[in-house]
Amino acid sequence: MGLLQWLIVIVVAYIALGRALFVIIDAVSTKNWKSLVAISAAVVVAAIVTIVLIHRGAEKLSPHSVLPAALLVLAGTFVAGAIGRATLTWEETRRRAQLSRQIKLHLVLATGALFFSLPFYWLITTSLKPDERTNVLPPDLIPMQQRRVEVDGEMRRVYLAEIDGRTLRVAKVAELEGGLWSVIALDGSENVRTLPGHRVRPDIYPALRWQNYGDALAFLPPEYQRGLRPLWNTVFVTLMSMVATVLSSSLVAFSFARLRWPARDLLFVVMLATMMIPGAVTMLPVFLIFRSLNWIDTLNPLWVGALFGNGFNIFLLRQFFLTIPTELEDAAKIDGCSYFVIYWKIMLPLIKPALAAISIFAFMGSWNNFMGPLIYISSPEKMTLAYALQLFQGLHGGEPAMMMAAATLVMFPVLVVFFFTQRYIIEGVTLTGIKG
């Protein structure tokens, strides 16, 4: 029944939130301040009721403490909406209907964004917790840490226990048979008592354990130089892959889009067909090629393959090249420009959104590449971050907080790049195939 109750509470809360947003936005746009005051009062009363109910329920959030507040807000929306309501014109009715649709749409999008961001939130919060708080149920929504106190020259964890009708802080001394604990009271009396273990709970407080990040770097093998060596290898491979991908794919795409040569369309279809070949099929032949070049245990196999283009990138850039008017190319030819000058000085500046998109794809693919280093790299000083993270997991998999801190450090650059460049990705993909 607990899950069903929470589902009912969530549904009612969403309806109340949607109604409240509608009333607030409508009241502000129409300057109906009475409705705004009424809904604000309903929200304040609901918050007070929730705090009182949670306090009476031993400070535990439950459906019984949230549902009354949601119902109060929902009732307040109807009261606020009825205040000052007059006969609506056709335009006003249409505006309110459009506002209602927009609020519903944004609530759905916000819910989806919140749902898909939960794993990332769990990653960050776990990386800032001590290990003993990573597997507790229910999980801590914010990083918490248990208090510690020095007893007889030894640091001991602090617990809360109900003793003689009072909640006292105690320090655990020893565990006895039958689930009993020997504890010492921290109220100044320092009395030693014996209590059932289920009657004590950890005394926790919000705390961010930034030390996990330093520990993750300190526990790396010495040849990793506190992560700087894998970081440099990854940056080098990533930059080379980005440059190679942009140059090779754009050259081939320019040829397919703007030049005329025998069997061009047939070879374009063959190139597209290569996108359907699984990577596992070409893995062994490619490995034999690099081994014949004596490139095993070097960084070359991780980026040289980008010099031969990529089917998806070529297709994407070809569609962009096709949108450029032929008059620009004809004018450049009249001015005596060669095909390479046309490609470099005229075409490339006009397809910057597509170039930015494939650069970002190349960055994320190379930065997160795990299979390549696993196949070609064996020396620790030549490891990339993705492979080093896997080795770190094998050594410290039993320390989830430190493991999540290391994972956060590896993925942080990717998140920063994606955050600042996502509009280029969307622009580059959505404009593909649109002819001017």
Q: What is the 3-state secondary structure (H, E, C) of 244-276?
A: HHHHHHHHHHHHHHHCCCCCHHHHHHHHHHHHH
Q: For 219-430, which CATH superfamily applies?
A: MetI-like (1.10.3720.10)
- Taking the mean position of all CA atoms in its chain, how far away is CA 244? 28
Query: For residue 402, what are its two tokens?
Result: 């430190």
Query: For residue 300, what are its two tokens?
Result: 């070359």
Using only the alpha carbons of the chain, give its radius of gyration: 31
Q: Does this chain's domain 148-202 share its CATH topology with 219-430?
A: no
Q: What's the pTM value of the predicted model, to 2 decimals? A: 0.74
Residue 35 pLDDT: 79
Residue 432 pLDDT: 52
Q: Quote the CA–CA distance of 85 and 102 in Å, as a whole number.
A: 21
In a 3-state reduction of DSSP, which class is residue 165?
coil
Pairing of strands 154-163, 166-175: antiparallel
Spans of all domains in the chain? 2-127, 148-202, 219-430
Q: Quote the CA–CA distance of 258 and 324 in Å, as a whole number.
A: 10
Q: What are phi and psi of 202, to 5 degrees?
A: -60, 140
The pairs formed by 174-179 with CB atoms below 8 angstroms and a separation of 24 or more are none
Q: Quick check: 158 and 169 in contact, CB under 8 A?
A: yes
Q: Classify residue 405 by its DSSP letter.
A: H
Residues of the chain with pLDDT under 50: 1, 58-59, 433-436
Residue 429 pLDDT: 60
Contacts of 308 (CB under 8 A, 6+ apart): 248
The sign of the CA dihedral 311, 317, 320, 322 is negative
Class of the CATH-defined domain 148-202: mainly beta
- β-bridge partners, 150: 155
Q: Quote the CA–CA distance of 406 and 152 in Å, as a whole number.
A: 36
Residue 315 pLDDT: 92
